[in-house]
Every structure is written in structure tokens, then in C-alpha cells.
Amino acid sequence: MTASNWAPYGVELSSRFLLGSAGYPSPQVLAESISASGTQVVTVGLKRTLAAAGDNGFVAGIVASGVRLLPNTAGCRTAREAITLAHMARELYGTAWIKLEVVGDEHTLQPDPWGTVEAAAQLIKDGFAVFPYCTDDLVTCQRLLDVGCQVLMPWGAPIGSGQGLINPFALRTLRARLPGVPLVVDAGIGAPSHAAQAMELGFDAVLLNSAVSQAVDPVRMARAFGLAIEAGRAAFEAGVMAPQDMAVASTPVSGHPFLIG
């Protein structure tokens, strides 16, 4: 694996951009956005697909773009519901990858930590590669690792809020305390600068949906996010300058001769 790649559950990926598939103006715009983003992983909401009584080729169109599907359990309120939906997703889509979501609060859509850990434990036993959507709480993240999750997806802010990283301290703490764990910032990203910031903190990838699908020009926005994520990762690997409390001259002159014209 090269420095520019990462490997969730042993699958090597060169793109660190995971893209959602909901809310696009048309399947064509979605396909063009996938291409412009450079993503290799696209999430699919199974509940929405089932509610539509057939996806009319929606999922087939995504697969045709050459990406991996990451079905999610969005909309589930209990561990039991999420487990059932995950099994349906594996049967329908032929993948053991699952983005686990168990909602605990209707206003913020904050994930239920107990329900998420409970569902993750069972799904890991059932042979799933679980990508749990969680908060930035370190203890919850450690419990998810304890039950067998190999990837964590802490939020940047509530889903669809576009607020960016509302608690950088907690995210930095997660990165520092879990140095070998693939971490994906999921939810709340509203601008490419937010995604770049997440990558500069050392996170392995970013997952977002609304910031692209709801843009005036989703295709151009997808490309903008792809570039920002790439730039943020490059900056992290190069070594981002640490903030200083005081001014530090970039061109010190003390003790050096110089000419006055």
C-alpha cells in the first residue's frame, strides 16, 4: 500500500472520498458526479430503494460506474431493525460491506451509541464488514473497536447540517488515541474546506452526500471536494505547520549582513 492509498477491511483504495447517492436531480447527474469526484465507494440507502418499489436501474447505474457499493441502514431506530436491514442488503447487493446507522435522536439524528455497538457486535459475528456511523466520543469508538469494527465513521456535525467540524478537539483526540485505525469523517460536511480540514487532521477519508447532491452544480462540486480531499491529505503527509502563539519571522535578519539601497 502506497502512502496515498488506504485499505478499509483489506480493500486497497486510492480515493479517500466516499460519496452518498441520495437527492441528485437525475441518475445522469449522479453518474457524472461520481465520475468527477474520483470516488471508488458510493453509499446506497436500502430503505429508500425498498420504499420506491424497485430502483428502476438506480443501483445498476451506480455499479456500472465501477465503484463499490456501501449499503447503509439509514432510518433505523433500533439495533434489531439495523441488523435485519443489513442482512437484506447483503442478499440484494452481494456485498458484506455495510454502513451501520442506528438513530438515537430525531432532532439531531445523532446515532444511538448503545444500539450501534449492539448491532455492530452481531453483524461482525455474522460476517459483515461494518462501517459504523458514530459520534466523536472516544469511549464509544473504543467499544466499537472492541466488538470487531476495523473502521470508524465519526460525525463532523449533524447529518445534512453543513456545519463542518464542530468539535475539532474531539476529532484530533480520536486521531491521536487511535493511530492505527482507519477513521472517516461522516456527516455535517458542507464545503470543500471542511473536507480539507478533516484530512489535514490525519483522517483517512471523508464521506458526504448533501453538500454535493444539493449544490447548484453537483458535478463541479463533486470535483471540488475531490480536489480538496486530495490536497488535505497531501498537506497532512507533508506536515502541516503548527500554530504559534507569537509572530515568527519567515526571513530572520538578526546576525546576517544585508544591503540597504
Q: How far, in Å, CA of 223 to CA of 95, rounded?
A: 27
Please identify which of the residues 16, 99, 143, 194 carries the catalytic annotation: 99
Cross-strand bridge partners of residue 68: 41
Concerning whether 99 is annotated as a catalytic residue, the answer is yes
Cα 175 to Cα 32, 163, 201: the distances in Å are 33, 20, 8
Q: Does the CA dihedral 193-196-202-207 come out positive or negative?
A: positive
Q: How far, in Å, CA of 205 to CA of 175, rounded?
A: 12
Q: What Rg value do the Cα atoms of the chain yield, rounded?
A: 20
CA atoms within 13 A on the CB side of 48: 14
Catalytic residues: 99
